[in-house]
Amino acid sequence: MGERYIVTGVAGFIGSHIAERLVSEGNKVIGIDSFTDYYSTKIKERNLRKLLDSTSFCLVKEDLLRVNFDRMLEGVKGIYHQAAQAGVRTSWGNDFKIYCDNNILATQRLLEAIKNTNIRLIYASSSSVYGDTEKIPMDENDRPMPVSPYGVTKLAGEHLCLLYHKNFGMDVVSLRYFTVYGPRQRPDMAFHKLIKAGLTNQEFVVYGDGSQTRDFTYIDDVVEANIRAFQKGKSGEVYNIGGGHRIDINSVIEKVSKLIGKNIKIKKIEKQKGDVKDTLSNTEKARNDFNYKPMFEIEEGLRLEAEWIRNNLDILIT
């Protein structure tokens, strides 16, 4: 007999993968998603196709700011809080309110709902909290200095989790993801855009000169990190979850061009505000506490993402 879990943002890239893993292991999952229009709802619906075929999965189409938690918390062992308004470049200006609502207020409301329970919460944070630091690799003890409004809201969510842990003894663990990729990756993310551009003979826009590097983390490694952090992560702690190596964007373009067998049209424009130069995770803490070891190399991960995009072009081309 499995356990009962809640996954927020279940129709998204990471949330849908976590929910599938939990169901595959014999658990029951309540998935919450508001289906915001940040990208096509057709993509989110397809992300859920496998889950909706399972009697162990229940979908709640509701905003976290309005959902009635009282009716769904009974018997729940844990919550994987993946819901968030994503996107560094779109977090400036008037849209900042959307980020505050979905990343800060929604997290605070969720914490309030479970503060008198024994439910363990895994909070999805981001490497964006570190900002444009010159210290590489990035360590959990480094001072966070986000350079985007998005990063500010994700850090605020972390701090809320810590506040509720300190004041109410809540069981919370925060995971700082480093650029997650793979099948179902959001269409606004670089790998998705690059592969789709190559497959459809479109232009791929590079912000800056392409020398910027990222620590890319394959989706299966992120899912495994969530499961292990739930089992053995220390309450009140923050952990880096990265691929453990970095690669520059120009090299990624070369790899994808080779993978799909054609040169991709490239247009380089000015670096965007909020983009950082380099990221690289120090994952020693996660390795020591719950044996986190990223398994996927970039070439294999890119192949699997390209395969998914090729098979889903019918909903990805707008």
Active-site residue among 5, 39, 130, 150? 150
209: tokens are 């000169």
Annotation says 164 is catalytic: no
Cα Rg of the chain (Å, integer): 19
Specify whether the CB–CB gap between 142 and 135 falls below 8 A.
yes
Query: Distance between CA atoms of 122 and 111, rounded to whole angstroms?
Result: 11
Query: How many Cα atoms are found within 13 Å in the side-chain-facing hemisphere of 62?
Result: 15
**Three-state secondary structure of the chain:** CCCEEEEECCCCHHHHHHHHHHHHCCCEEEEEECCCCCCCHHHHHHHCHHHHCCCCEEEEECCCCCCCHHHCCCCEEEEEECCCCCCCCCCCHHHHHHHHHHHHHHHHHHHHHHCCCCCEEEEEEEHHHHCCCCCCCECCCCCCCCCCHHHHHHHHHHHHHHHHHHHHCCCEEEEEECCEECCCCCCCCHHHHHHHHHHHCCEEEEECCCCCEEECEEHHHHHHHHHHHHHHCCCCCEEEECCCCEEEHHHHHHHHHHHHCCCCEEEEECCCCCCCCECCECCHHHHHHHCCCCCCCHHHHHHHHHHHHHHCHHHHCC
* 297 phi, psi to nearest 5 deg: -80, 155
Beta bridge partners of residue 241, listed in sequence order: 177
Residues annotated catalytic, as ranges: 150
